[in-house]
Amino acid sequence: MTTMPLWDYGSLSCFKNFKSIFQDATVNRLEINANTCQSFSPIDLPLLENTSEECKVKEVQMRVVRLGSGTHTVRSHGATVAKTHMHDWLMVVLLVVIEVILYLTPPFYRYVGKDMMTDLRYPLLDNTVPAWAVPMYAVLLPVVIFLVVYYRRRDVYDLHHAILAGLLFSILVTAVITDSIKNAVGRPRPDFFWRCFPDGKDVYDHLGNVICHGEKSIIKEGHKSFPSGHTSCSFAGLGFLSLYLSGKLKAFDCKGHVAKLCIVFLPILAACLVAISRVDDYWHHWQDVFAGGLLGLVVATFCYLQFFPPPYHPQGWGPYAYFQELESRASAQTDATVNPLNAWPMDSHVENQGDDKNGFLGLNLAGDLTTTVEDVESGRR
C-alpha cells in the first residue's frame, strides 16, 4: 500500500486550517436570521451583492440587538445629548422671545368700509376650543406618548429629539410664522362688526373707514383672522405626533395593516375638528383655517425630518442620533476585535454619517453592508 508523502499531509493540514479560518470569518460576518432571510456559505459570496434591500435591513437590525439597543437613558446620555444641542436650545429661547414680542405687537388695521360689513356681521361667540386647551392636546398629549415610548425603549435620543423637534421647534416656528402673518395682514374676523360696534351702531369717517368704539383688546384681536393660530398650532403638534406614530408603528412596512393607519390618522382628525370649530364659532374664515392647517403640517414635517428618517423608511422607527451612537459603538468594537485571516475588523463597517452624502442615515446603513463582503472577495480592505 502506497503511503502519502509527508509534504502532502502538511499541505492538507494547512489547507484544512485555512478553510476553517475562512469559514469562521465568513460566518461571523454573514450570519443572518434564518427566519428573516437566509444563510450564506462562502460559495454564495459573489451573490451577496444582489441581496435584497430587506435582507440588508434585517442584518442591520440584528446588529442593533447585538450591540445592545435601548441602553441610552437620560442618566447615562442625557447630559451629553443636551450639551450637543446647546445651540438648538438657545434658538428655542430666542423663538419664545420673538413670539412674545409678536403677540404684544398691534396688527395692521386694515381699511374696513361699510359695504364690507356684510361678511363681518356674524355673532360674537365664545371659543369651542379655548386658547388654554391648545397646549394641552398639542403639547402635553404628545409628551405623554413620548414618555411611554421612552419607558419601553429607554432611548434618550428619541425622547430628546421628539420634544425638541415636535413640541418646541414645530410649535414655536409655526407660532412665529403665524403671528407674523397675522400682524402683517390684519384681516378682520367674521365677527368684526360686533367687536367694533358692540352696541350695534356703526360709525364711519369721511373716507368710509370704521370708527370703532369697542374695547381696544377685542378690536385688536378682531384684526388677527389670517391665518388661524388654533389650526396652525394644532396641525404642528398633532401633525408631528402623527408622523412620530407612523414611524414607531412602522405603518408603511408594506404589510397592509390598516389598524396602524387608523391610529396614525387620529391626531390629524383631531386637528381637523379644531379647525372646523374655528369656522363654526365665526372666529375665522375658511381660508384662514386652510392656510393655518397647511402651514402647521408643513412645518411639522420639516422639523420631523430634521431629526428622524421618513416614516416609510426601514429605519424610520428611530432618530438619526440613535444610529450614530450605534455606529460609534460598532467602530469601537471593530478596533478591539480583529479577524485572524487578514487582520480585518470582525464587525461590518458603517460609514460615519458626518460624511453622509445621501441625506438619510438609514439609507447608508442599508447600502454599506456589502462593503466588507466585497473586500473578502477581492482580498483587500
Distance, in Å, from the CA atom of 175 to the CA atom of 150, rounded to the nearest integer, reads: 27
3-state DSSP assignment of residue 204: strand
C-alpha cell at 191: 365677527
Q: What is the pLDDT of residue 153?
A: 74
Q: 49 and 185: one domain?
A: no
Taking only the tens of pLDDT, the chain with its 381 residues reads 445 554 454 444 444 454 454 444 444 444 444 444 444 444 444 444 444 555 555 555 544 444 444 456 655 555 666 677 678 889 999 999 999 999 999 999 999 998 898 889 999 999 999 999 999 999 999 999 988 888 887 777 788 778 877 788 999 999 999 999 999 999 999 999 999 999 988 899 989 999 999 899 999 999 999 999 999 999 999 999 999 998 888 878 878 778 888 899 999 999 999 999 999 999 999 999 999 999 999 999 999 988 888 888 776 666 765 666 666 666 666 665 545 444 444 443 333 333 444 333 333 333 343 344 344 334 444
Q: Are residues 125 and 55 in the same domain?
A: no
Flag whether 318 is in a domain: no
Let me know if residue 334 belongs to a domain.
no
Q: Identify the domain containing residue 147 by its residue range.
A: 74-307
Hey, what's the cell of 177?
410664522
Residue 3 is assigned to a structural domain of this protein: no
Same domain, 44 and 147: no
Q: Indicate if 185 and 146 belong to the same structural domain.
A: yes
Among 289, 307, 325, the domain-final residue is 307
Residue 204, in any domain of the structure: yes
Give the domain-ending residue among 307, 331, 365.
307
* Burial zone of 237 (CB within 10 Å; 0-12 exposed, 13-18 middle, 19+ buried): buried
Q: What is the pLDDT of residues 353-378, one digit of tens each?
A: 334 443 333 333 333 433 443 443 34
Q: Which of 257, 288, 307 is the last residue of a domain?
A: 307
pTM over 0.85: no
pLDDT computed for residue 221 by the predictor: 93
The answer on 271 and 249 residing in a single domain is: yes
- Looking at the structure of the chain, the number of domains it has is 2
Count of CA atoms in the C-beta half-sphere (13 A) of 3: 4
Same domain, 351 and 252: no
Q: Could you tell me if 51 and 102 lie in one domain?
A: no
Residues 126 and 84 placed together within one structural domain of the fold: yes
Together in a domain, 63 and 204? no
3-state DSSP of 299-337:
HHHHHHHHHCCCCCCCCCCCCHHHHHHHHHHHHHHHHHC
Which positions are annotated as active-site residues? 230, 284
SS3 38: coil
Grid cell locating 33: 436570521
Predicted pLDDT at 247: 85
Kindly give the interhelix angle for 286-307 and 258-280, rounded to the nearest 10 degrees: 140
At residue 72, the pLDDT reads 61
> Do residues 43 and 91 both lie within one domain?
no
CB 361 within 8 A of CB 351: no
pLDDT of amino acid 337: 57
Domain for residue 316, yes or no? no
Please compute, for residue 218, the number of CA atoms within 13 A of its CA located in the half-sphere on the CB side: 15
Whether 294 and 198 share a structural domain: yes
Specify if 250 maps to a domain.
yes
The answer as to whether 347 is a domain residue is yes
In angstroms, rounded to a whole number, what is the distance separating the alpha carbons of residues 92 and 106? 23
Q: Are residues 116 and 190 in the same domain?
A: yes
